[in-house]
A = this chain, B = another copy of it.
């Protein structure tokens, strides 16, 4: 197949868009800003969901489901929250269409106007805390450790597949606790769960940190986050976990009777990752030939392509392949035999390369004679002949592990070579306009300086790293004193 994929070095943004479409991951829908996640893309998301969901359950969380709609007045109850979401939300005003009397097809029925408008949830804190009010009376009802998998809508004006879409899929955890410390611990725990998922499964190294006040979630006291670096030197926020303090408990009057007989507001957290992770996964590892998927999230880990002339050869190869498939499957490896007779091997090689299948096995008539096959790995492109008298399943298993480690290490190396400590504003600008990446610099801690730097460079404070070194210094912009470096970057 002809891939027609632009090169990353020529137009990274176009490369990304084309890759998402050509690899059958997603496409734009007829509805502005909303995407269609295609079966191949969705199967990757399902693998991500399964692992994340398992990690949530292992940390004591259960799933539930809350309404899609939020009454307008609920959104307004937490002041920062409404400020953050009101400007980009889908508003339901009517509940019926009718046939137009002038023959213009169906139109909104003006008589079916809602008394109170409903907002399609951009996030569910308000509707969930209004529900928690009925669930929580006493300390015995705490903690509540609930997650939901859902779609949400934020009316973004400039959208990009997976990275920024009007509707996206996500999970949102919402927990309620009796003490401040327990809620903070929960927020930190979930940030760690996200970091572990990103590193172990996505092979994506992340920096853990907290957001500056300006970048904080609307309604949170503290936002913990994980930040990853893409191949073009831009950062991507991959997950956030918010310590909400008592903000939503106060907005919805959620109090509990303490063990000691008092009455206190409940402490809360919320945390989420979304289909945005798909964007991160694609951009972190892929190359000019197409997707590179980490074996732990690849829906197809191994593809087998037969090279043959005529039905007899195909039959012989198929018999051999059946053996190999059953050995691989016994190890829990997912394997596809691409025996389509409508396409040539070269086309198939290119297609599976584009789709990021980690390992390709090819078998032709000479292989049959020699009892061999060819193994190719997607990440490095290396090929080798393998003697089938040895254990193919063991070989592939260790190769998949190698690939997982290799792409993770590659991403770490990239991040290391793209994280720069700077000590002056000139240096800061130079790095940002040059190789990009994370720029570690002193900042005076004020929102004014943060805003100026953002305006002048289109770069934001990605986070104050949790492992921030205590180091006295001077703000690169204002020269005022700073107690430690923060990470700046241009970001998605």
On A, residues with C-beta under 8 Å from B are 27, 29-31, 34-39, 41-43, 46, 62-76, 82, 86-98, 105-106, 108, 117-120, 127, 130-131, 134, 140, 146, 150-151, 153, 155, 167, 169, 342
A17 CB → nearest B CB, Å? 16
Contacts of A41 in B (CB 8 A): 64
Which chain B residues lie closer than 8 Å to A37 at the CB level?
Answer: 64-65
Inter-subunit contact B96/A155 (CB<8 Å): yes
CB closest residue in chain B, given A150 = B151
6 A–B contact pairs at CB < 8 A? A38-B64, A41-B64, A87-B97, A92-B92, A97-B119, A151-B151
A131–B26 alpha-carbon span in the complex (Å): 12
Q: How far is the CA of A35 from the CA of B120 in the complex (A)?
A: 15
Q: Which chain B residue has the least Cβ–Cβ distance from A91?
A: B94
Contact A167–B106 (Cβ < 8 Å): no
A36 with B67: CB separation less than 8 A: yes
Known contacts: A29-B131, A34-B67, A39-B146. The answer to whether A91 contacts B92 by CB under 8 A is: yes
Residue A88 contacts which of B88, B91, B95, B134 (CB distance < 8 angstroms)? B95
Identify 8 new A-B residue pairs, CB closer than 8 A, beyond the known A31-B69, A65-B169: A30-B127, A30-B130, A39-B146, A42-B63, A75-B97, A88-B95, A91-B95, A140-B342
Q: Give A130's nearest chain B residue, CB to CB.
A: B30
- The answer to whether B167 touches A67 (Cβ under 8 A) is yes
CB distance from A21 to the nearest CB of B (A): 11
Nearest chain B CB to A421's CB is how many angstroms away? 42
Closest approach, in angstroms, between the C-beta of A480 and any C-beta of chain B?
34
Could you tell me the dominant secondary structure of chain A's interface residues?
mixed
CB–CB A97/B91 < 8 A = yes
Most B C-beta atoms less than 10 A away, residue of A27, A94, A98, A169 = A94
B76 adjacent to A106 (CB under 8 Å): yes
Q: Which residues of B contact A75 (CB under 8 A)?
A: 97, 106
Choose from B34, B62, B140 the contact partner of A69 (Cβ within 8 Å). B34
**CB closest residue in chain B, given A34:** B67
Would A68 and B106 count as touching, CB distance under 8 A?
A: no
CB distance from A83 to the nearest CB of B (A): 9
Chain B nearest CB from A460 CB (Å) reads 24
- How far is it, in angstroms, between the C-alpha of A354 and the C-alpha of B127 when the chains are bound? 28
Q: Is A63 a contact of B43 with CB atoms below 8 Å? A: yes
Contact residues in B for A169 (Cβ distance below 8 Å): 65
Q: Are B92 and A127 in contact (CB under 8 A)?
A: no
Cross-chain contact A62 with B36 (CB below 8 angstroms): no
B residues less than 8 Å from A72 (CB atoms):
97, 106
Cβ–Cβ contact A151 & B88, under 8 A? no
Chain B hits for A94, CB < 8 A: 90-91, 93
A355 CB to closest chain B CB, in angstroms?
A: 14
Q: A34-B69, A63-B42 known; A89 and B82 CB under 8 Å? A: no
Given A106-B76, A153-B68, decide whether A31 and B91 contact each other with a Cβ distance below 8 A.
no
Q: A29-B67, A95-B90 are in contact. Are A73 and B36 (CB under 8 A)?
A: no
